[in-house]
Amino acid sequence: MTSTSSAGGAHETNPEKVELITVLSIDGGGVRGIIPATILAFLEEKLQELDGPDARIADYFDVVAGTSTGGLLTAMLTAPGQNGRPLFDAKDLAQFYIDHSPKIFPQKNWILSKITSTLRMVGGPKYDGKYLHGLLRGYLGDMRLDKTLTNVVIPTFDIAFLQPTIFSSFELKHRPWKNALLSDISISTSAAPTFFPAHYFETKDESGRTRAFNLVDGGLAANNPTLSAMVQVSKDIILGNRDFFPVSPADYGKFMVISLGCGSNRNRRYSAKAAAKWGIFSWLINDGNAPIIDMFNSASADIVDINLSVLFCALRSSRNYLRIQYDQLTGSAGSIDDTSKENMDKLVKIGKELLSHNVSWVDLETGLNVEVPGEGTNAEQLAKFAKQLSDERRRRQKLSN
């Protein structure tokens, strides 16, 4: 598996040690990444209460998966800094968005911005991405996928082949040409069509053979990457990774999963009567939104949640799966690029308030989140998961000594 962290990360395992395969997954959603960032700060705080101030998210998860803005969070949580520990503490993630988002998504005055943005999205991407690209290259430098402190899974979509390309630590031993720069992977997974330009880069394998990538936002393939992460682990087991042996590839009861959404707006609905009259521009731009992007992202995120909820229930291990998502975003909070101070403060507030909401899941009939009876609040569940994560890590460390 990947290189180990100095504090003995979750991936330091062998056949006797694994009782739970721990997965953290983070959806895409632009500036709304502030919401999961706020929740991650709470989770890391709970882990630190149990194991001391040096505890970090990467120490506890066998795999961290992220799409688009979730991919950026994944890189920040798992890339090593100069001291060999994670580049960012979880408590600093929301502030990272607050500090840099206005330059990633530069805004002008409201009326001029609406006109200019529409014209740009017709003739090219809304933003040139230069600030974001420079920021990621500055933080991640020449660090490659194989250097993360635990396994990561980051989906992208290759427009040259019209198929998903998933950058996964688990695949490197079989596909060394996927050992790309973390900065290139992060730029690619966040290259949302109409918002940022597609990203091209090349890699070379040990024999010097070149592989070209023509990539856009991973949200086209898996805006909610939870199932992708679980499949990557299962495939790795099938191919003989003894770190997880003797776990069966289909033994999803051994998985413990925390899946974090970036929020959605279930009140923003479209009618078939209206959409029947839409041409290509209306599907791409409608009242300042991009309906086709909204639909792709919601469909991708919810179908994964629905399938996993049913799967974990069927295996009588529903308490091993926690999905935290807010579905009542309204106004500017539903935007992926509104970087006004008012909106970003609102997103931080939503993230904090979401912790006090009861655990919920998606109702397939209504599309709305409904409370799960008897499960308590998201904060209470995260505290329970933190205890399980701590116990699993301590158990592995004890067996290592």
Residue 217 a catalytic site member: yes
Catalytic residue among 217, 236, 337, 338: 217
Q: What does DSSP say about strands 21-26 and 360-362: parallel, antiparallel, or unpaired? A: unpaired
The set of residues, in sequence order, having a beta carbon less than 8 Å from that of 230 and lying 6+ positions away, is 23, 252, 255, 257
Q: How far is CA 177 from CA 155, 172, 213, 238, 313, in A?
A: 16, 8, 11, 21, 38
DSSP class per residue in 133-175: HHHHHHHHTT-BGGGSSSEEEEEEEETTTTEEEEEEGGGTTT-
The set of residues, in sequence order, having a beta carbon less than 8 Å from that of 174 and lying 6+ positions away, is 239
Q: How far apart are the first and last CA of the chain?
A: 20
Beta-strand ranges (E) seen in 72-220 are 151-158, 163-168, 199-204, 210-216
Calculate the dihedral angle through the C-alpha atoms of 368, 374, 376, 380, rounding to the nearest 10 degrees. -130
Residue 74 three-state SS: helix
341 burial level (CB within 10 Å; 0-12, 13-18, 19+): exposed
Report which of 207, 259, 199 is spatially closest to residue 74, judged by C-alpha positions: 259
- Token pair for 32: 């709304």
Report which of 360, 355, 382, 362 is spatially closest to residue 373, judged by C-alpha positions: 360
Q: Which helix (H) or strand (E) holds 313?
A: helix 291-314
- Token pair for 195: 């918002």
CA distance 221 to 65: 13
- Token pair for 389: 């994560």
CA distance 291 to 338: 16
Catalytic residue among 5, 25, 27, 68: 68
What is the dihedral sign for C-alpha 56, 77, 361, 254? negative
CA distance 330 to 263: 10
- What residues are labeled active site? 68, 217
